């Protein structure tokens, strides 16, 4: 990859060159910031030649909420609620990342009950997040039914999580040192009922969308991302695994109780949209398997290991920690100075790096393919901008 730095105005106003009479004219199309297929307020400037994309320039900042700056004024326990709002579809995993970073920095040990519940509830949310992605993918490609199916099943998990965490979306449940509340007594029976309900539904998903010829035609060999490029762009999560690299932090650097459960990491071969699609469907199955293994084996114990009123003093030094969210690896960097607020807090968000792969994969394709590519990248724009 060659690195070339140009400003947006330079790209938009290229120097005039002598055209041959037969050459076509290149023009620019602005996609976003308000566009239904960009999942929020992403703006893509497209350099077009007829219907073919020559260049994609993502323009960011339309939902930059300065979360990293705000974190410099907050205590370790208060940062957690901001991370809910970054990648709101895997809010619990984000909570966990910050909590683990603070715990590691302060040397706090948690008990097996806390770790089991964290693992369990994050896997539930991974399923929930993929359900939403599946529904919206269908919507982007013009199939409304999948949207209804995905959201109907998503509501079931939302209900279960709401009972335990008290919120539907921004949960703020996993805290440094433990959990906000204990599990609701209904949690275990309802999760079991959900798994029983959802397994056949997952097969139905496959019949509805995966076996559809139109969908396959639109996804196969579209937006191929080679393994080198995926690594080069820093892609993680299903996007990287679709390109054939079996990197999953749940396997490579196990945290929680992932080292005690059995699951496999689906890996793609081509790196096209179809691989990314198939990997997420398969991940839902694996997550259900993890939940099934854990749901009957939740150990007893306390749900909070620290005094809730205790002041969290971050020791001096830098701490970096990664966990695998539904979209890739989220890294949290904290720099403590011995006070209770961090000197610097940085989030390495999976979506940011995954987004830039579009500048490679969409080139040479059509706009309709770009919609499919952006959709299979599963972007959450507030996590890109933070």
Output 5 or 309, the one with its CB closest to other proteins: 309
Judge contact between 175 and 77, C-beta under 8 A: yes
Options 66, 109, 207, 269; binder of other proteins; rule CB under 8 A: 66
Interaction pattern, residues 149-188, with other proteins; x per rule: CB under 8 A: --xx-xx--x---------xxx------------------
Options 10, 14, 23, 69; binder of other proteins; rule CB under 8 A: 69
Options 141, 279, 381, 384; binder of other proteins; rule CB under 8 A: 381
Asked if 170 interacts with ligand SF4 (CB under 6 A), we say: yes
Helix (H) or strand (E) holding 197: helix 187-205
Task: Enumerate residues 6+ apart whose C-beta is below 8 A from 309.
Answer: none
Min separation Cβ 85 and ligand SF4, Å: 5
**Length of the chain, please?**
386
Q: Which of 29, 35, 33 minimizes the C-alpha distance to 49?
A: 29
Interaction pattern, residues 13-52, with other proteins; x per rule: CB under 8 A: --------------------xxxx---xx-----------
Output 111 or 170, the one with its CB closest to ligand SF4: 170
Two tokens, residue 331: 């890294």
**CA 303, 300, 102, 125 torsion-angle sign:** negative
Min separation Cβ 169 and ligand SF4, Å: 6
Site for ligand SF4 in 67-126 (CB under 6 A): 85
Phi-psi group of 271: left, alpha or beta (phi > 0 → left; psi -120 to 50 → alpha; rest → beta): left
Count of H helices and E strands in the chain? 16, 8
Output 158 or 260, the one with its CB closest to other proteins: 158
Options 48, 57, 63, 208; binder of other proteins; rule CB under 8 A: 63
Judge contact between 53 and 365, C-beta under 8 A: yes
43 - beta bridge partners?
59
Judge contact between 77 and 309, C-beta under 8 A: no
Min separation Cβ 384 and ligand SF4, Å: 15
Judge contact between 277 and 238, C-beta under 8 A: no
Coil, strand or helix at 92: helix
Min separation Cβ 148 and other proteins, Å: 5
Q: Of these partners, ligand SF4, other proteins, none, which one is at the site of residue 168 (CB under 5 to 8 Å by kind)?
A: other proteins
Q: How far is C-alpha 305 from the chain's CA centre? A: 29
Which DSSP string corresponds to 115-129?
HHHHHHHHHHHHHHH
Q: Of these partners, ligand SF4, other proteins, none, which one is at the site of residue 64 (CB under 5 to 8 Å by kind)?
A: other proteins
Task: Tell me which residues touch ligand SF4 (CB under 6 A).
Answer: 85, 170
Task: Tell me which residues touch other proteins (CB under 8 A).
Answer: 33-36, 40-41, 61-66, 69-70, 72-73, 81-82, 84-85, 88-89, 132, 147-148, 151-152, 154-155, 158, 168-170, 309-311, 381-382
């Amino acid at each position: 990859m060659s690195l070339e730095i140009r400003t947006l105005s330079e790209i938009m106003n290229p120097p005039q060159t002598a055209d041959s009479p037969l050459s076509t004219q290149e023009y620019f199309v602005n996609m976003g910031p308000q566009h239904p297929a960009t999942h929020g307020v992403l703006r893509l400037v497209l350099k077009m030649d007829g219907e073919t994309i020559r260049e994609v320039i993502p323009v960011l900042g339309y939902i930059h909420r300065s979360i990293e700056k705000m974190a410099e004024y907050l205590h370790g326990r208060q940062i957690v609620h901001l991370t809910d709002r970054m990648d709101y579809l895997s809010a619990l995993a984000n909570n966990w990342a910050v909590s683990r970073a603070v715990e590691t920095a302060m040397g706090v040990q948690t008990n097996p009950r806390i770790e089991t519940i964290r693992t369990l509830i994050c896997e539930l949310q991974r399923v929930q997040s993929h359900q939403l992605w599946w529904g919206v993918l269908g919507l982007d490609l013009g199939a409304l039914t999948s949207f209804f199916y995905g959201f109907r099943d998503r509501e079931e998990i939302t209900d279960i999580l709401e009972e335990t965490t008290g919120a539907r979306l921004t949960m703020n449940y996993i805290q440094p040192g433990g959990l906000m509340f204990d599990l609701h007594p209904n949690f275990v029976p309802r999760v079991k009922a959900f798994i029983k309900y959802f397994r056949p539904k997952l097969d139905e998903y496959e019949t509805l969308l995966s076996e559809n010829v139109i969908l396959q035609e639109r996804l196969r060999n579209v937006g191929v991302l080679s393994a080198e490029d995926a690594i080069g762009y820093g892609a993680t999560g299903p996007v990287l695994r679709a390109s054939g690299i079996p990197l999953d932090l749940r396997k490579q650097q196990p945290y929680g109780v992932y080292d005690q459960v059995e699951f496999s990491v689906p890996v793609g071969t081509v790196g096209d949209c179809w691989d990314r699609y198939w990997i997420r469907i398969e991940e839902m199955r694996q997550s259900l398997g993890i939940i099934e293994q854990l749901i009957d084996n939740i150990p007893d114990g306390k749900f909070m290991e620290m005094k809730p009123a205790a002041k969290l003093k971050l020791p001096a030094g830098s701490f970096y920690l990664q966990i695998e969210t539904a979209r890739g690896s989220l890294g949290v960097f904290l720099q403590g100075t011995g006070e209770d607020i961090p000197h610097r807090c940085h989030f390495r968000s999976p979506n940011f790096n995954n987004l830039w792969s579009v500048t490679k994969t969409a080139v040479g394709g059509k706009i309709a393919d770009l919609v499919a590519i952006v959709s299979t990248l599963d972007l959450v724009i507030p996590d890109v901008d933070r």
